[in-house]
């Protein structure tokens, strides 16, 4: 296998595979290398629908080999270092690959450890996250089995893969509880690291209506710092005095 490519792509997720396919459409003779160690490709947008009980989690996991565009070279390794002066990258296997042009798209790494107790709590004690293949199905278990009480939906202050995902599952959950006739027993809170419901004015106006109709209580400028699954508690930092007061009312939480 050659160690030099006209185009070298780091990461064969949605971005890397789409870019490779688009480039080949323009010029099928391009020599493209895709570096990615993963055996599986995940269609992550569908995890929202899995969490809402309307999509099968198994269908979101596919073999990576079936999605590498024909005509490209798949290098099944992980990049460990960039050497832009030499137009080179190095990999976990100690190999070096060179390029004319480099495209870097290794996705966003999830950092569960940023919230104390989260990793240990996920997938049990009514704590879930749609941001993981291993837990999206548990979100639906929680929504389906919820009979009323406190449901807390969180949206971190750090960059995330899909800005809409923390909202979407909340609106779908509220809709399900409304149809089930238990919404009046649900105390739904949205804790967001952001200062507004959504960054685009036109969408924000519509979402504010959805929030009102769902009786969702929104709290902005909130950074969740700890989750105690066994005690069903959540802790957060905020400069907003009105939000600090409500923490005391969060008992027996279901945390999404
Ligand atoms: C719950 C949820 C709902 C979403 N909903 C939507 C939606 O409705 N609409 C929408 O547009 N988007 C949505 N998204 C976002 C969308 O899934 C991501 O934006 C998209 O998957 C990002 O593609 P990516 O290629 O950048 O990263 P990924 O698809 O995460 O792929 C990154 C790839 O890089 C590889 N990699 C990592 N490190 C290295 C390394 N060192 N060397 C080589 N390879 C490496 C990984 O193995 C992986 O294959 C959602 C995401 C989630 C989690």
CATH: 3.40.605.10, 3.40.50.1980, 3.50.50.60, 3.20.20.10. Which one for 4-104?
3.50.50.60
C-beta contacts of 133-138 below 8 A and 24+ residues apart = 133/42, 133/47, 133/57, 133/60, 133/61, 136/47, 136/48, 136/50, 136/51, 136/57, 136/60, 137/50, 137/51, 137/57
Judge if the beta carbon of residue 10 lies within 6 A of ligand 1.
Answer: yes
How does the average pLDDT of the chain come out, rounded?
Answer: 94
Centroid of ligand 1 to alpha carbon of 24 (angstroms): 21
φ/ψ (deg, to 5) at 57: -55, -35
Judge if the beta carbon of residue 45 lies within 6 A of ligand 1.
Answer: yes
Residue 248 has pLDDT above 70, yes or no: no
CATH 3.50.50.60 in the chain, residue ranges: 4-104, 112-255
Instruction: Give, in words, the CATH class of 112-255.
Output: alpha beta
Centroid of ligand 1 to alpha carbon of 191 (angstroms): 24
- 107-153 per-position pLDDT tens digit: 999 999 999 999 999 999 999 999 999 999 999 999 999 999 999 99
Q: Distance (Å, rounded) from C-alpha 70 to C-alpha 20? A: 10
Q: Distance (Å, rounded) from C-alpha 140 to C-alpha 61? A: 18
* Cα pseudo-dihedral 51, 53, 54, 55, rounded to 10: 60
Measuring from atom 7 of ligand 1, which residue has the nearest CA?
45
Q: Are 121 and 228 in contact (CB under 8 A)?
A: yes
- 29-82 per-position pLDDT tens digit: 999 999 999 999 999 999 999 999 999 999 999 999 999 999 999 999 999 999
Centroid of ligand 1 to alpha carbon of 127 (angstroms): 23
Q: Are 128 and 142 in contact (CB under 8 A)?
A: yes
| Nearest ligand 1 atom, CA 78 | 42
Residue 246 has pLDDT above 70, yes or no: no
Percent of the chain with pLDDT over 90: 87
Confidence band for 245, pLDDT divided at 50, 70 and 90? low
* Residue closest to 40 by CA, chosen among 69, 21, 59, 65: 65
Judge if the beta carbon of residue 131 lies within 6 A of ligand 1.
Answer: yes
Residue 162 has pLDDT above 80, yes or no: yes
Q: Distance (Å, rounded) from C-alpha 178 to C-alpha 234? A: 25
Judge if the beta carbon of residue 117 lies within 6 A of ligand 1.
Answer: no
Percent of the chain with pLDDT over 70: 96
Q: Which of 44, 104, 130 to mutate to test the pocket of ligand 1 (most atoms within 8 A of CB)?
A: 44
CA angle centred on 166, ends 160 and 172, rounded to 5° = 150
């Amino acid at each position: 296998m050659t160690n030099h490519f006209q185009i070298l792509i780091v990461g064969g997720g949605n971005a890397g595979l789409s870019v490779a396919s688009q480039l080949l459409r323009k010029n099928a003779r391009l020599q493209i290398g895709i570096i990615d160690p993963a055996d599986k490709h995940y269609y992550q947008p569908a995890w929202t629908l899995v969490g809402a009980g309307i999509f099968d989690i198994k269908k979101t996991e596919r073999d990576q080999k079936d999605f590498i565009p024909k005509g490209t070279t798949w290098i099944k390794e992980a990049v460990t270092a960039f050497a832009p002066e030499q137009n080179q990258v190095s990999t976990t296997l100690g190999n070096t690959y060179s390029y004319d042009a480099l495209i870097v798209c290794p996705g966003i790494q999830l950092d569960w450890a940023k919230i104390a107790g989260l990793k240990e709590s996920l997938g049990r004690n009514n704590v879930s996250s749609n941001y993981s293949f291993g837990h999206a199905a548990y979100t639906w278990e929680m929504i389906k089995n919820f009979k009323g009480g406190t449901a807390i939906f969180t949206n971190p202050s750090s960059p995330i893969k899909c800005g809409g995902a923390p909202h979407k599952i909340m609106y779908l959950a509220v809709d399900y509880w409304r149809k089930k006739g238990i919404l009046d027993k649900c105390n739904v809170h949205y804790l967001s690291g952001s200062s507004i419901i959504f960054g685009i004015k036109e969408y924000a106006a519509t979402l504010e209506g959805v929030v009102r109709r769902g009786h969702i209580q929104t709290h902005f400028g909130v950074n969740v710092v700890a989750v105690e699954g066994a005690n069903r508690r959540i802790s957060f930092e905020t400069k907003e005095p009105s939000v600090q007061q409500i923490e005391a009312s969060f008992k027996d939480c279901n945390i999404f």
